[in-house]
Amino acid sequence: MDKGRELPQLPKQVTTLDGQAVDVQGDVWRLRVSADGGQRFYIKWATLISITTKDNSPVLAQRTIQLVRLYLADRLTRRKSSTVRNDFSAFVSFCQWWRQNEPTKQPFVWDYYDEPTARAFLRWCETTADNGNRFSRIRVFYEWGTARQYPDFDPAFFQTLKTVHTQGNAKGHHVRFRHPTKGPFSEAEKQLLVRAIHSQCGTDEDRALVMLHLELGVNPHALVRLTNRDFINIKMKQGDFYQLDVPRVKKRAVQRETKRRPISRRLGELLQQLTSGEPDEVLLHWLSADAPLAAIRTAMGRFARDADLVSPRTGKRLQLHPRRFRYTLATHLAAEGASRFHIAEVLDHTDLQNVDVYVETTPAIIGPVATATDAALTPLVNRFLGKLVDKPGETAATSMTDNTIVPATVPHIPLPLLSTSGIGVCGRNVRQDGLCQLFPPLSCYLCPSFAAWRNESHQSLLANLEAFIAAHGELADARILKQLDEIRAAIAEVVFRCSSSAEGMT
């Protein structure tokens, strides 16, 4: 096949997977993390082209650069823009490595990429924090060139390339080993944050950012995409309730997806005070439009300074950054008895591979054991982590606060109203511990703070939940069904205990 075969021309413009129009003819490609906003970044081809050998010759041949440009332009139409940015960084790293090794004085062409070269590059990657990911990105590029039958790529070598194993990123070590500045906050550090918020330390804007991360453990890429329309104020007799439609990130859907999350009244009132502009304008309007993530990190550092937060563990200024809040929320949920499925739901993970570390490193190891155990062994492995109590008289029940009584309504699943008086009480101190991050009332059965009343509501809830699972089993997501089945087993245990109590059994 002719090695001099001409390559196709780059299009003038491509439309990304999420709908961004990008001019790919120039030397700088301008993108955002998401079409509806977020961090702005640039792919600067001068960074790649300017890498030279020791004698100032170009490291890459012109054809090599053209192939990479064609690949990334095509990649933009199939993957998130942030993925393409990381792909570009992999090529920059490869060129820097090639320059250091410089096995040939000739500009690099993909004919030089053979098995010894590939394995040497992988060994270098594994000495860095990348741990093989950049190698994998180059391999995907080679697959792309092979599939298009460009003469620069050898199909036989690609089959060998596919057999090379990479380690990938090490996950969860900051959580697993409770890193003092990068892992989850300790309980004492968390209390420092809560007290600083209640004392209204820092500016309103900085405090709002800290509260959003503390309550939701949300990815900051999602926060910067929030619009005024995503902020929801529900007016009820008991007072105002607030929710946020949080944009989902790292999902491959083309359209914008959100997940509705409750927030505390304190945070809701603060956001309402700070809101400005039209419904489609950015909710966190005070952040930099081009670098909102950097603005969030700066605001957190400023809040820690203004509130004079000193970590009891390190004796130094408490290090605040978004990922620590996310780790803290997930670790707290695991300690409260939440299952892997509930933690994945709150963190908005589509699978469980990234949540195991939270359950594995908490004393509440009963969750995975219960998941792997048949429902017939309920008396031996308890899915219901709360306690059973007698329902108080009507006078005592009506005197309880609305935050104490767990209602029998299930707003996120269309189940019928079971009881107007509720199914039990929450032993959580809302003022001290903050708003519950689970999804009452179903998730309450998996929480050790729940005190279930001995009444017929549990039997009705169980029957309706089983009917819902039976009706939607073929269409519902398998992960959701797994969660519901775990809750169903916990409710069944409560029903069993109630019947045993009624019969005088211990």
Name which of 37, 43, 142, 124 is nearest 83 in CA terms.
Answer: 43
Report how far Cα 372 is from the mean position of its chain's Cα atoms: 25
What's the pLDDT tens digit per position in 229-243? 999 999 888 888 999
- Look over the chain and give the mean of its residue pLDDT values, rounded to a whole number: 81
Q: Do 91 and 121 sit in the same domain of this protein? A: yes
Q: Do 216 and 346 sit in the same domain of this protein? A: yes
pLDDT at residue 332 in the model: 85
Q: Do 93 and 221 sit in the same domain of this protein? A: no
Q: Do 152 and 183 sit in the same domain of this protein? A: no
Phi, psi of 83 (to 5 degrees): -65, -40
Q: Do 238 and 182 sit in the same domain of this protein? A: yes
Rounded CA gap, 196 and 211, in Å?
Answer: 11
Name which of 278, 286, 270 is nearest 223 in CA terms.
Answer: 286
* pLDDT > 90 fraction of the chain, expressed in percent and rounded: 45
Residue 443 reports pLDDT greater than 60: yes
Let me know if residue 464 belongs to a domain: yes
Q: Do 486 and 382 sit in the same domain of this protein? A: yes
Let me know if residue 444 belongs to a domain: yes
pLDDT at residue 95 in the model: 92
Name which of 291, 227, 236, 228 is nearest 36 in CA terms.
Answer: 227
Let me know if residue 118 belongs to a domain: yes
Cβ count near 409 (within 10 Å): 15
Q: Do 236 and 348 sit in the same domain of this protein? A: yes
Q: Do 398 and 475 sit in the same domain of this protein? A: yes
Let me know if residue 359 belongs to a domain: no
Q: Do 319 and 395 sit in the same domain of this protein? A: no
Rounded CA gap, 58 and 158, in Å?
Answer: 26
pLDDT at residue 256 in the model: 82
Cis bond before residue 247 (omega within 30° of 0): no
Let me know if residue 5 belongs to a domain: no
Rounded CA gap, 196 and 112, in Å?
Answer: 59
- Among the listed ranges 73-82, 180-189, 368-377, which one has the minimum average pLDDT value? 368-377
Please count the structural domains in the chain: 3
Rounded CA gap, 335 and 363, in Å?
Answer: 7
Let me know if residue 1 belongs to a domain: no
Name which of 54, 51, 76, 77 is nearest 65 in CA terms.
Answer: 51
370 pLDDT band, cuts 50/70/90, is very low
CB half-sphere exposure, 56, CA atoms < 13 A: 0
Residue 174 reports pLDDT greater than 60: yes
pLDDT at residue 251 in the model: 62
Task: CATH number of the domain at 344, please.
Answer: 1.10.443.10
Residue 30 reports pLDDT greater than 90: yes
pLDDT at residue 375 in the model: 40
Residue 316: which domain range? 174-353
pLDDT at residue 478 in the model: 61
Let me know if residue 251 belongs to a domain: yes
Q: Which of 161, 186, 206 is the last residue of a domain?
A: 161
169 pLDDT band, cuts 50/70/90, is low
Pairing of strands 387-389, 450-453: parallel
Residue 163 reports pLDDT greater than 50: yes
Q: Do 349 and 369 sit in the same domain of this protein? A: no
Q: Do 121 and 211 sit in the same domain of this protein? A: no
Let me know if residue 168 belongs to a domain: no
Q: Please return the burial class of 129, using the count of CB atoms within 10 Å of its CB with bins 0-12, 13-18 and 19+.
A: exposed
Residue of higher predicted confidence among 229 and 101: 229
Q: Which of 353, 388, 412 is the last residue of a domain?
A: 353
Q: Do 293 and 369 sit in the same domain of this protein? A: no
Q: Which of 161, 196, 225 is the last residue of a domain?
A: 161
Give the mean model confidence (pLDDT) for residues 285-295: 92
